Structure 1
Amino acid sequence: MNNRENTMAVLTYRDYTRIPVVSFGYWAETVMKWADEGHIGREEAINYVEAGDNSEGDKAIMKKLGFDFNWNSCFSSEVLLFPPFEEKILEEFPDGSRIIRDGQGLICKVKPGTVSIPAEIGTSMTDRKAWEELYLPKLQMSRDRIDFKRLEELKQEPEREIPLGLHLGSFMGNMRNMLGVEQLSYLYVDDEDLYREIVDTLCGLGYACAKEVLETGVKFDYAHFWEDICFKNGPLISPDVFREFVGPWYKKITDLTSSYGIEIVSVDCDGMIDSLIPIWLENGVNTMFPIEVGTWNASIAPWREKYGKQLRGVGGMNKTIFARDREAVDQEIERLKPLMALGGYIPCPDHRIAPDAKFELVQYYCEKMQKAVR
């Protein structure tokens, strides 16, 4: 069995020969550091930084480390503002920091040398007039949103070695990226009709794109949503609001993917997601990715105990051990073994591997995991 066959067998509780050892990429600073240290070629690092996951650079780095493949192997349509706003500098300060309007209309403060998420300080979506004039025209369905040439190439590819996902987009996550957390919270109270209209527009666009893609006949192994609407203590929005406004759209879209034979539907949502899990499960999502063990000890084990085999997972490998030593790696692998034995679960370093990671420890992890998963 190849990596694709083993992956789908694990997640659907069928017999498999081994659990793939998967990655989810690296920070740009990580691969450039590894290049400076001589572990990988500078051209490989630059190619990864410029081309991203599953690029030639990524494949070369994974081969040297010992990963089987990068989990982020999805075909995506343009389900954001199309075209996006032109990024614009609104104000500059003596220390080099700037206030900008980004591609989604969010007003942010960007500090030089800072690689974390910029500080949100406002949004261009100030009222219904701004929505109708600036945003709504950029959220209309168009076949230009879909790379049909790439889809035709996928149809012609021979039997794939790794699973192929269909990225379904984001509903509340994209809305948050346009409004910011504060305005997103106020809008539900200030103008519920506009709130619902924005949700329905984003969800309807996601559904339309998914339908167009699936009708081409390309066979996908799984479907995937992205949200990122939680923080360390729970969701940024009320679960009841999420269930009412977004739940039915999830169900409509997962019914569509199911009609095309897609059994696995995952969602990527950072933060403590526990109170949203039952809503996703009710509406056709059955796989959580990632599982943020390094931040607050999240694990598939209590979720599996609560929801049974309906819930699968990818992630939950504590990448912080890559900054420590071999003993820490050994302990982490021992912790993962009983979780893998549950079935329906594939370990993966949570998010991108950070710059404090030691190349030789990631290599050691892969080597040990290749033996542990057989």
Structure 2
Amino acid sequence: MNFSEREDKTLSFSNIGLDRGAVEETFEPWDFTVANWEKEGLKTDFNQKLRVPTVPTEVGYISKDRPVEFVDHYYSAMVTDPVFRIEQQFGLDPVKRMAFRIPFLSYEEKILEETPEYFTKLDIDGCIRKYYRGRDLFTLEKSIVSDEKTWEQHKAHILETYHKYCTDEAMERIYGPYREGCAKGDFSIRFRLTGFFWAPRDLFGVEPHLYAFYDYPEVIKDINRLQLDIYREQMGKILKIITPTVLFFEEDLSGKTGPMISGDCFDEFVAPCYKEIIPFLKEQGVKNVFVDTDGDFTLLIPNFRRAGVDGFLPVDVNAGVDLVAVRKKFPDVKFIGGFNKLEIVKGPEAIDAEFERLLPVIKQGGYMTGVDHQPAPSTPLKHYQYYLKKLGEIMRQYRGENAK
């Protein structure tokens, strides 16, 4: 059994044909956590290779040790090998993490004003922000989209950038090196796309986005239409090079008290996008389509399922999401994550208890155990290593044809 097959079988609800459950992590680790582990003796180049971007609409990490070009933001594999190396150090199953992103990040950065207290900057996403010196603080002065006119201007800019940078040659250069290993199952691929709630929010800003569902509904639908058209064109080619076992859409449409939009709003604006793109992705070989959202998303599970979504990650325990209770209510929904990161901080006894809590779902299948988000910076290295050792034991004991 190769690694891609093991991952897919782990996410099935059967042990037939499975040697053991996959031992994987939900997301790449936090840079602060890795820095603290380095003080405890971990040897890694993770923080030498990657850095957190300053622009809040840019997701994840970007390269630190080489120049970053516009195309690197679109055919995104900057995290792939640095994350792979550190996860291999920890003995995790091999996963290559990558993404495709529409060219929303496509403006030349420019300082617009400087004072001793702050500087105002046009950022790569086209938004204008004020950054305060000596403090990790900024304010959004002007979003890139505020109405129909600004969207049409930005849309024209996006399409110009798209046709300039998103070429077949660039695609092959970024993803091509992973073709052979993917085909052989030497590793599984975890692939990201920006979701249909997330993208308009980045363009409008958080609060204006929520008003835009009422004030500019056609703009939101047109943003999503652009996403769908580009995803169909690009993913139709990308998926001939690499085939993810798990592809997930970044949405973050929930908080601790529940979703940010109603079921009716979701069904009008978001669900039609999933109903169109998910069958297309599965026709191209994608086995599992997940949604990434923080917070308590459970009220929208029926809506997501009707739209064709298979499962969710990272299952935010500290937002009150009880994975065991949710699985009882929705027995066919798949999950990745759900292990309370704060229990790892406490040490072996708490880790054992958390595994015991999750055991009913582990035994049922359709679940890859992972940390809800990433290990916290306060996590001792030895506790995380214990968690991984225990995870490997659990996956051998309870998933597979010889499972108890």
CA drift of 1:250 comes to 0.8
User: What secondary structure, in the 3-state scheme, does the structure 2 residue paired with 1:341 have?
Assistant: helix
RMSD between superposed Cα atoms in Å: 2.8
Give 1:108 shift: 4.2
Cα deviation, residue 107, structure 1: 4.2
1:303 aligns with 326
**Distance in 1 (alpha carbons) for counterparts of 2:378 and 2:345:** 5
Q: Choose which of 222, 226, 231 in structure 1 pairs with 2:246.
A: 222
Deviation at 1:53, TM superposition (A): 4.1
The AA in structure 2 aligned to 1:251 is K
Counterpart of 2:372 in structure 1 is 350
Structure 1's unaligned 5+ residue stretches are none
Query: How far is 1:143 from its partner?
Result: 7.8
| 8 Å contact from structure 2 (residues 3, 186) kept in 1 | yes
Contact 2:111 2:120 in 1 (8 A): yes
For residues 1-374 of structure 1, the aligned pairs below 5 Å read 1-14=1-14, 15=16, 16-23=18-25, 24-41=27-44, 43-47=45-49, 49=51, 51=63, 53-56=79-82, 58-70=83-95, 73-81=96-104, 84-90=106-112, 94=116, 98-110=119-131, 120=140, 122-139=142-159, 142=163, 144-145=165-166, 147-157=171-181, 159-214=184-239, 216=240, 218-293=242-317, 295-309=318-332, 311-374=333-396
CA contact (8 A) 1:11 1:345 kept: yes
CA 1:39–1:338: 2 relative to 1, 3 Å? same
Residue 119 (structure 1) shift: 5.2
Superposed CA offset, 1:4-41 (max 9, x none): 22211121234212112212221112212222332224
Q: For the residues of structure 1 that align with 2:190 and 2:347, how far apart are their CA atoms?
A: 34
> Letter of the aligned partner of 1:316 in structure 2?
G
Tell me by how many angstroms 1:356 deviates: 1.0
Which whole-Å CA distance do the structure 2 matches of 1:20 and 1:330 have between them?
18
**Residues 76 and 167, structure 1, Cα contact 8 Å, conserved in 2:** yes
Indicate the larger mover: 159-168 or 241-250: 159-168
Letter in 2 for 1:305: K
Distance 2:116 2:295 in 1: 35
C-alpha deviation, 1:114, in angstroms: 6.7
Query: Separation in 2 of the partners of 1:217 and 1:59?
Result: 19
Which whole-Å CA distance do the structure 1 matches of 2:136 and 2:22 have between them?
31
Alpha-carbon deviation of 1:371? 1.3
2-structure distance, mates of 1:354, 1:226: 21
Q: Compared with structure 1, are the counterparts of its residues 44 and 206 closer, same or farther at alpha carbon in structure 2 (3 Å cutoff)?
A: closer
Deviations 1:266-313 (A, max 9, x none): 1111222112222221121101111111x223133233222322x100
> How many residues of Structure 1 are paired with residues of Structure 2 in the alignment?
364
Residues 114 and 361 of structure 1, relative CA distance in 2, 3 Å threshold: farther
1:165 Cα offset (Å): 3.9
8 Å CA contact 1:170, 1:225 repeated in 2: yes
8 Å CA contact 2:246–2:290 kept in 1: the answer is yes
Does the 8 A contact of 1:325 with 1:361 survive in 2? yes
Q: Distance in 2 between matches of 1:67 and 1:115?
A: 34
Query: Closer, same or farther in 2 for the Cα pair 1:273/1:80, shift >3 Å?
Result: farther
Distance 1:59 1:130, change over 3 A: closer
- 3-state SS of 2:369 partner: strand
1:129-180 Cα deviation digits (max 9, x unpaired)? 2222234331465383261234433333351232224434322201111111
Superposition deviation, residue 351 in structure 1: 1.6
* Structure 2: distance between partners of 1:230 and 1:114: 28
SS in 2 for 1:357: coil
Q: Which consecutive unaligned segments of at least 5 residues does structure 2 have?
A: 52-61, 64-77, 397-404
Q: Distance in 1 between matches of 2:376 and 2:133?
A: 19
Q: Give the TM-score of the pair, scaled to structure 1.
A: 0.86
Q: Would the alpha carbon gap of residues 303 and 232 (structure 1) be closer, same or farther in structure 2, given more than 3 Å must change?
A: same
Output one character per residue of 1:76-104: Cα deviation in whole Å (capped at 9) or x when no partner. Answer: 223141x5223344555655x55544332
The superposition leaves residues 211-256 of structure 1 with CA deviations (integer Å, 9 ceiling, x where unpaired) of 2323x36433233211112222122233322211221121111111
SS of alignment partner, residue 331 of structure 2: helix
The letter of the residue matching 1:22 is E
Worse-superposed segment, 161-170 or 174-183: 161-170
Secondary structure at 2:308 match in 1: coil
- The CA distance in 2 between the partners of 1:320 and 1:93, in whole Å, is 41
Identity %: 27
